[in-house]
Structure 1
Amino acid sequence: MSCQKCSEKFILKNDKGVIFIISEVEELLKKSTSFLQKLSIDYSNKNGLLVINVTNVKAFFSENINRFKEYFNELERENIKIFTADDENSFNYLTVLKAKTLQKYINLFDDQDFFDVVNNESLTVHFQPIIDIHTDKIYGYETLARGVNEDGSLMYPDILFEKSKRNDYNFKLDRLCRESALKTAATKKVHQKVFINFIPTSIYDPEFCLNSTVKWAKQLEFDPSQIVFEVVETELVKDQVHLKKILEYYRSKGFKIALDDVGEGYSSLNMIIELRPDIIKIDRNIISGIDQNELKQSVYKALFNLARENGITVLAEGIETINELKMIKNIGVDLAQGYYFAKPASEPIRKI
């Protein structure tokens, strides 16, 4: 069982259909009417609902998408909604909920590479090793998703999630990334801990939204204690009660919890106190050049002491030089990650 947010494919039919245009703003309906009249597009107005019958839905948008962009400004495009269906009788109150903004339809063309990646589930996973400083062995791997374009080139996370966010696809993409990480780690026979990022704002009900992730972990015979879920974008989480509910669900299944980018967001210290993660990952902005910056050393030392006093493991990420490594070792650290050891790679590095 899944929700529309996690399973939808936003595509346009290459066939005949009906296009409905709606808006809560009366002036925008009038402007939409003028737009259709200007282009000599046949339509009917049914109590403020503009209805257009077309012989090919995809061709209609393909031919007119640039005209939409020129005629309506960005604010207007966000307040005009469109729904496509097979026939006029398909429109009901549910279609109002499923209708997408005109801007989303424009994005469908501008971000076609993104939609191809997600709708076809064309993801690959790279692994970056995490080192146990006490043993100098690989403790685990952070899994990092990349989209695979049709030409074989990669779409990196910053672009992937930027396009996902503006198209309201984080629910689906986040689930795909979690599941791809588990499947790929199993295929690559990774026996160390597997760190998997997740966006808490893409989960509205943990038992429902995370069911498939738990299912795959069991099916692939992972020991839950070997999987660490990293909370990312913590500074965007307004509802800490909801986030704690998500983490409690993960913990009830035996998984570990890491808090990412600690020291970057203004609420990091509060997050540590409230969430009590198993691991904190100290942000690379603090680690970078720490050997030459006494203020960064003080901040790192405070975070390390707070974690140590509360039984939390400290992971320093973004280490790029031997001097940075020496400094954090001198202050104190449990785990380390960064280009100094290895860059993310499609094949997990087995030994440092």
Structure 2
Amino acid sequence: MNCPRCHSIPRISQNNGNMIISCAVKELAEKMVEFLNRHQLAFQREDSRTLYVKIVNFKTIIDQLCHEHFTSAVQREGITVLFLDNGEKLTAEKIKYIKTLQQYYDLIKAQKLISLIDNHALTTYFQPIVDIPNNSIYGYETLCRGVDDDNSLISPSLLFEWARQADMLFYLDRECREMSLKTAAVKNIRAKVFINFIPTAIYDPHHCLQSTVKWANQLEFDPKNIIFEVTESERVEDIDHLKDILDYYKSQGFMIALDDIGSGYSSLNMVAKLQPDVIKVDRELIKDIHENSMNQSVFCAINQIAKDNGTLVLAEGVEKSEELRFCAEHGADLAQGYYFGRPNGEPLRKL
């Protein structure tokens, strides 16, 4: 299987050509005809809801449709568009390129994100992860930010919101993984490097992850020093697919971590099925754990399951010495949080 998403970022063509427009209802088709007549665009009606339009600069027309004429998301969802370059014929293969007008609208809004990815305008921050028994740096979680034109930082939450809206999670997730590896190599980090990835953005690991594996090998990382961390595990509906992804990483010699354990009813089931090397206990469980008997019980249960299966336990979100002390006394192997250091462009080398 060859995944076309692995090769090129989706873009809106600026070529001349033909649009095939299908409207969900006749009323939308009539509104489309009104737009075409106003802009003096030649068109043919294939039926009451389908139009064939000859256009100059597809991107300009899409922008006008989205921002001038169909300003409602409901209307944009009811219109599908297929663009064919001049001389290009309609074939079965072209069907996969059909998009709703709303999808094009989201893609227009994602132009800044596309520019950031094109220009590799992401930067990587490092947050230390501490080996509790040895009181030393075990590794770092890598966290990406965007770099705007004025050198201000764009938060990861905003980057991923843009990516979700434009169906570009795969491209942003891949760029972040590869930027994390490259920056860790530049910083000469030889400790463990935790790299986040979103499993729902990956279709076939053998194709979608090959460039990440290539960079890890090319930069001469010891695979056991790379820990791929599953984020947004609560969004995963196909556990078998996630297991395929993790098995692929493991087959390449990498380690696996699961995030936010203890935050949902299904998380322990995922631990049992996926058998990670590291589990990160959710920060909400760690917060003031020294004063919360219920959270203490949950933590101890998670820790016992991990110990029985040879899995390392990482306490996430540690901000107080009392939280660290409880976690250390009750079996946590690793800890991470502002108590040790905030994410920074320069990795903390020692405590």
With normalisation by structure 1, the TM-score equals 0.91
CA distance in 2: counterparts of 1:187 and 1:246, whole angstroms: 27
Partner of 1:51: 52
Over 3 Å counting, the alpha-carbon distance change for 1:118 and 1:305 in structure 2 is same
Q: Please give the alpha-carbon distance, in whole angstroms, between the structure 2 residues aligned to 1:2 and 1:158.
A: 30
Provide the residue aligned with 1:193 in structure 2.
192
Say if 1:41 and 1:134 are closer, same or farther in 2 by CA, change over 3 A: farther
CA drift at 1:264? 1.2
Q: Which amino acid aligns with 2:59?
A: K
Structure 2 unmatched ranges of 5 or more: none
| DSSP-derived class of the 1:89 partner | coil
Show structure 1 runs of 4+ deviating over 6 A.
none
Which amino acid in structure 1 is aligned with residue 145 of structure 2?
Answer: R
Q: Distance in 2 between matches of 1:111 and 1:16?
A: 22
- Summarize the alignment of residues 75-90 of structure 1 with structure 2, pairs less than 5 Å apart: 75-87=74-86, 89-90=88-89
Gap change, CA 1:273 and 1:47, over 3 Å in 2: same
Verify the 8 A CA contact 2:81 2:101 in the aligned structure 1. yes
Shift of 1:337: 0.4
Give how far 1:326 is off. 1.8
Aligned-partner residue type, residue 263 of structure 1: G
Deviation at 1:321, TM superposition (A): 1.5
AA of the residue aligned to 1:294: S
| Worse-matched range after superposition: 93-102 or 182-191 | 93-102
Asked if the contact 1:317–1:336 (Cα under 8 Å) also holds between the matched residues in 2, the reply is yes
Q: Which residue of structure 2 aligns with residue 233 of structure 1?
A: 232
Partner in structure 2 of residue 6 of structure 1: 6
SS at match of 1:349: coil
Secondary structure in 1 matching 2:88: helix
CA contact (8 A) 2:231 2:259 kept: yes
Mapped partners of 2:186, 2:65: distance in 1? 45
Aligned residues: 349
Shift of 1:135: 0.8
Alignment CA distance shift 1:302-1:68 (3 Å) = farther
How many angstroms does 1:323 deviate by? 1.9
- 2:345 corresponding residue in structure 1: 346
Aligned counterpart, 1:322 = 321
- Report the counterpart of residue 21 of structure 1 in structure 2: 21
Asked whether the equivalents of residues 69 and 106 of structure 1 are also in contact (C-alpha less than 8 Å), the reply is: no
**Equivalent residues of 1:235, 1:266 under 8 A apart:** no
- Contact 2:229/2:258 (8 A) holds in 1: yes
Deviation for aligned residue 1:88: 5.3
| Alpha-carbon distance, 1:39 to partner | 3.1
Equivalent pair of 1:7/1:172 in contact (CA under 8 Å) = no
Distance of aligned partners of 1:134 and 1:91 in 2 relative to their CA distance in 1, 3 Å threshold: same
Contact kept, 8 Å, 2:259 with 2:282, in 1: the verdict is: yes
Measured at CA, do residues 189 and 2 of structure 1 come closer, stay the same or move farther in structure 2, by a change above 3 Å?
farther
Kindly, what percent of the aligned residue pairs are identical? 45
TM-score (ref. length: structure 2): 0.91
Structure 1 vs Structure 2 CA RMSD: 2.2
Could you say if the C-alpha distance between residues 280 and 14 of structure 1 is closer, same or farther in structure 2, counting changes exceeding 3 Å? same
Whole-angstrom distance in 2 between the partners of 1:175 and 1:83:
27
Give the gaps of 5 or more residues in structure 1: none
Q: Which amino acid aligns with 2:178?
A: E
One-letter identity of the residue aligned with 2:252: K
Q: Mapping of 1:1-352 within 5 angstroms?
A: 3-14=3-14, 16-23=16-23, 25-27=24-26, 30-37=29-36, 39-45=38-44, 47-48=46-47, 49-70=50-71, 73-87=72-86, 89-352=88-351
Q: Contact (CA 8 Å) 1:316, 1:336: kept in 2 or not? A: yes
In structure 2, relative to structure 1, the CA distance for the partners of 1:294 and 1:200 (3 Å cut) is same
Q: Which amino acid aligns with 2:21?
A: I
